[in-house]
Structures are given as structure tokens and as C-alpha cells.
Structure 1
Amino acid sequence: MKRKLLFYGLLFLTLLNCKSQHYTFDELPSKQLVFGYGGGMAGTVDSYTLLENGQLFHTNSLTQQTEELEPLSKKEVTACFLKFEELALSEADFNHPGSRYYFLEEVNQNIKHKVVWGSSDHKPDKAYLEFYNEMKNHIK
């Protein structure tokens, strides 16, 4: 009986420690999925940073404020990061902003790869547009 009680006690403590880490925008993990848009008359940039634990941050360059948005579920985050990896941004070379532009950025360790589109002269890959729109739909 004491063994069972000890086992369940240790199991409970282990599960308590499995809670994913909560980050602040000033101290982000090395892997991030960043997307957003910018330009226009004011040149404002709105960027969103998704972390593997589901946390989602919004930053506005005009107000210089960052806010934490409603987190995504573990299932949603896993699907997003899998699709994002399939885009293989590190192999892409697409930087064609317009006066209004959109972007996807992969941050992994100290390496960043960014795809930017908006110019009417250069059309991005359809997969980038679909993924970007899917990510915008996650914002609550």
C-alpha cells in the first residue's frame, strides 16, 4: 500500500513538472515562427511570434508595444510548425516587398530566414500565401 501511495505521489510530482515553460517577449526560446505585415503611409509593422509551447505575441512598431495573445492549442501549434517546416524558408530567396508587404520568418537558434512579398511584379509561392492566411486565422 505504501509503495502505491509513493508511486502515485511521484507520478503526480512528475506531471506537475511537465508544464511547458512560460516565456516573456524579452526572453524567447531559440525556435520561433514569425509572420506579419507592414508598410502603408505610416510604415507600421505588425508582427506575430508563435512559440512551440503555443504562446503568441503581437508587436506593433508604431506603438512599440508587445502583447501576449490567446495561446494556441498544442494540436494547432504542432500542425503549424510541421507545415512551416514543409515551406523550407531556409532554401527560399524571395524578398519583394511592395508599399504594403507581408512576411514569414523562421527563427532557429541565431539563424533567421525571411520571405517577403507585396510587389505586384513578383508573385510569391501559393504555399506561402495559404500558410500566411492560415496563421492569420489563428489570431483571436
Structure 2
Amino acid sequence: MNPDKYKKSQIIFGSGGGFTNLVNEYHLLENGRLYHKKSTDTVFTELGKQNSDSVKIFFDKTKVLFDETKGFREPGNMYYFIKFKHDSTTNEIVWGASKETSPAKAKDLYKELMNLVNLK
């Protein structure tokens, strides 16, 4: 399965920037599959299938986040992002590592999502 061709909802999160401008991007699909791709990679690496109850919670939290935060874009040299791809639209929140103004809920959700990756 290629996340680029996946038709249902997905949460895309990761970080990038710095001297190398390398981007690490993770895709959590609605079916529970988790993928990783670096900006230097040509294909996605599957990291496994997540618990369906946890996936539902992540999608619910992401929907609430984007309902409350109608987009936020203040990247810095190093930046973090969460995107919500649903139907034909993609919403995005991007914040810099040193930005005080970044949405706290986005940072909290990002940490929770990264825990999925760190468990692998």
C-alpha cells in the first residue's frame, strides 16, 4: 500500500529543516497502517499496524484540533507539522522549534503521534 494512493483519511506528521533540510514524514492511515518516508527516500517503509481503538482516538483528536485551529503556519529553521488528509482536502499546521506561539494542542498531539513511531 502506498499512502500517496490511499483514498481514505490519513494523518501525516513529522519534522524537517535544519542544515540538511531533511524531512521525516509519517503517515497514519485510517486502516491503522503506519508508514515512514524521508525526503531522500523514493518509497515508504511500513512500520506496522496500530491498534484500531488508538487509531480512532488519534483521528478524533486530529479532527478536533483542525476544527479549533483553522490552520497555523509559522515554521522556523527546524519545524514540525501535522496534516489531516480527508476526502480531497488537506489541512496543515506547521510550527517552528523555537516558536512560543505554536498551538499547544498541536504540540501535544504531535508528541502522542511520535510515541507510535518511537515504540517501533
**Normalising by structure 2, what TM-score?**
0.88
Q: Deviations over 1:66-106 (max 9, x none)?
A: 10112111111011111111102585231111110000001
If each structure's strand is expressed as a fraction of its own residues, which one has the higher value? 2
User: Aligned-pair RMSD on alpha carbons?
Assistant: 1.8
Q: Give yes or no for contact 1:96–1:119 (8 Å, CA) kept in 2.
A: no
**What amino acid does structure 2 have at the position aligned with 1:105?**
K
**Normalising by structure 1, what TM-score?**
0.76
Q: Does structure 1 residue 58 correspond to structure 2 residue 33?
A: no
Match of 1:129 in 2: 107
Cα distance change on mapping 1:89 and 1:112 into 2, 3 Å? farther
Between the aligned partners of 1:49 and 1:114, the Cα distance in structure 2 is 14
Q: Give yes or no for contact 1:33–1:51 (8 Å, CA) kept in 2.
A: yes
Unaligned runs of 5+ residues in structure 1 are 1-22
Between the aligned partners of 1:122 and 1:51, the Cα distance in structure 2 is 30
Cα distance change on mapping 1:89 and 1:46 into 2, 3 Å? farther
Cα distance change on mapping 1:66 and 1:79 into 2, 3 Å? same
Unaligned runs of 5+ residues in structure 2 are none
Identity across the alignment (%): 31
**What amino acid does structure 2 have at the position aligned with 1:75?**
D
Select which of 15, 26, 31 maps to 1:48: 26
Q: Give yes or no for contact 1:46–1:58 (8 Å, CA) kept in 2.
A: yes
Q: Deviations over 1:20-52 (max 9, x none)?
A: xxx333521231111000001111111111111
Q: Give yes or no for contact 1:29–1:51 (8 Å, CA) kept in 2.
A: no
Select which of 83, 87, 93 maps to 2:65: 87
Q: Which structure has the larger Rg over C-alpha atoms? A: 1
Instruction: Choose between structure 1 and 2 for higher RCO, CA contacts under 8 A separated by at least 6 residues.
Output: 2
Between 84-93 and 25-34, the greater mean CA deviation after superposition: 84-93
